[in-house]
Amino acid sequence: MTGDDRRPAPGAAPADAPGDAPGDGAEDTLPLSAALQLAGFAETGGQAKRMIQAGDVRVNGAVETRRKRRLVPGDAIEVGDDAFVLELDDD
């Protein structure tokens, strides 16, 4: 078997999933767990992690369980009945 024959683990997100690509534009992204803290949904990174892993957070309408998911401006985040759209300053 060569390195080209490797397949992702069952249930793994595709390598080109939105918000996961390193490099190009990384400065215009924010980890999901940090966004939850900044928006006041979580007081600590640990609390944000638990919320995400429990399936309590949706990004653009889909449940997101990856706490390091990189959000981009315009992503819609929902926690329960509350929601916000990510906006990043150019500063």
Looking from the CA of 42 toward its CB, the CA atoms found within 13 Å total 20
Please check whether residue 86 lies inside any domain of the structure.
yes
pTM of the predicted model as reported, rounded to 2 decimal places: 0.69
3-state secondary structure of 31: strand
CATH assignment of the domain containing 79? 3.10.290.10
Structural domain range at position 82:
29-91
Averages of pLDDT over runs of 10 residues in the chain (91 residues) are 48 46 65 95 96 97 93 96 88 62
How many domains, in total, are found in the chain? Answer: 1
CB atoms < 10 A from the CB of 67, how many? Answer: 18
